[in-house]
Amino acid sequence: MKNMLKYALLPALLLFVSCDDWTEPESLEIKTPTIDAGLRTDYVENLKAYKNSPHKVLFVTFDNVDAAPSGQADRLSVLPDSTDFVSLDHPEAIHPVTAQEFGELRAKGTRVIYDVDFSTIETQWQQLVKDDASGAKSEADALDYIARRTEERLALCDAKGFDGVTFSYAGRSFVSLTDAERPIYTGRQDAFFGAVAAWREAHRTKHCSFVGNPQYLTAENAQRLSDCDFIVVPTDAATNESDLSVRVLAAVDGGHVPTDRIVVTAQTTRYDDKDGIYGYFGTLDDAGNRIHAIAGCARWVGKASASLTRAGLFVRNAKYDYYDNRLVHYDIRRAIAVMNPTPQIR
């Protein structure tokens, strides 16, 4: 029990130690507490053992900047230690200070990844077509462009030293496609998925997860998802836990999608969001308060399901959760505890 108490108290102590970059008024003469090196080593080893064991995973996205971090909120190192994956919004623009923090995260078993988004690539192609006055670009050119840009984006993983990728495909319902649109839709989807599949085959030791709507994939591309570590279903717009279930079941209804690795998404709340648009469910709790989506999703993930494995939570825009007057990254920390409750010390 002595060791259990020691490890239970360590995360709280580390909250103070991790703040050594803060500037305090000199007149206070505050002394930064120190942590025994052996205790720190034990903590890190237990943290990595936890991440290597079966548990509910936590992804967060992080809006990194290409300049030196201007404050603690811009530092990767202040994210909760139990975070499994940090996905950077701008993998092409990594400041040396941020790059140095990759090592700090990896030492705690956290992997740094980024996203490859089909919609972004297709939008770029559409802009090229719009800017081309000759009108000479063909659908074959489009397929070549999508495959090439996807490969270039994936190449950042090796070039910038990332631990893996997610690849995003929102897609459209097949019933909404006209006869003329269908071959273009499926052809472009195949160009994107083909490039990702080739990268995956050559990067077996890297992380690779899908983010999107599997129900909008061809059967062949849906079957390729079995090669992914997790299937992340976008549920930012969910209004309650029941709605979460409906959205997830709709995503895997086709039968080709693995159901043993499902992750759902939620937005953080924002201090400058006066209208309360981001980060809330559409329903109220028993006390009449709005429910934070992160908390609601964490409760959903923590519950058993007979039809699928609720594998974790994907939190968008983690930086906003830093600004909380209770504890930095309060909602994220609470979600980790709800999804992976520690056993009672008896």
What tokens does 239 get? 């209004």
**Residue 11 vs residue 320, higher pLDDT:** 320
- Phi, then psi, of 95 in degrees rounded to 5: -70, 145
283: confidence class by pLDDT, cuts 50, 70, 90: confident
CATH architecture of 56-339: Alpha-Beta Barrel (3.20)
**Residue given tokens 């992997």 in the structure block:** 111
Q: CA 189 → CA 143, 172, 184, 214, 248, distances in Å?
A: 9, 11, 8, 12, 21
311: CB partners within 8 A, 6+ apart = 56, 57, 230, 260, 261, 262, 263, 301
**Residue 11 vs residue 223, higher pLDDT:** 223
Q: CA 216 → CA 171, 182, 221, 258, distances in Å?
A: 6, 12, 10, 15
What tokens does 324 get? 């909380």
Give percent above pLDDT 90 in the chain: 73
Quick one: which of 16, 21, 20 has its CA closest to 69? 21
344: confidence class by pLDDT, cuts 50, 70, 90: very low
Other Cβ atoms within 10 Å of 300 Cβ, number: 24
What tokens does 191 get? 């160009």
Residue 134 predicted with pLDDT over 50:
yes
252: confidence class by pLDDT, cuts 50, 70, 90: very high
pLDDT of residue 28: 39
**Residue 232 vs residue 277, higher pLDDT:** 232
Domain boundaries, the chain: 1-53, 56-339
**Residue 314 vs residue 290, higher pLDDT:** 314
Residue 163 predicted with pLDDT over 80:
yes
**Residue 270 vs residue 246, higher pLDDT:** 246
Could you tell me if 165 and 195 are in contact, meaning their C-beta atoms sit under 8 angstroms apart? no
Residue 56 predicted with pLDDT over 70:
yes
In this predicted model, what pLDDT tens digit does every residue of 137-156 receive, in sequence order?
899 999 999 999 999 999 99
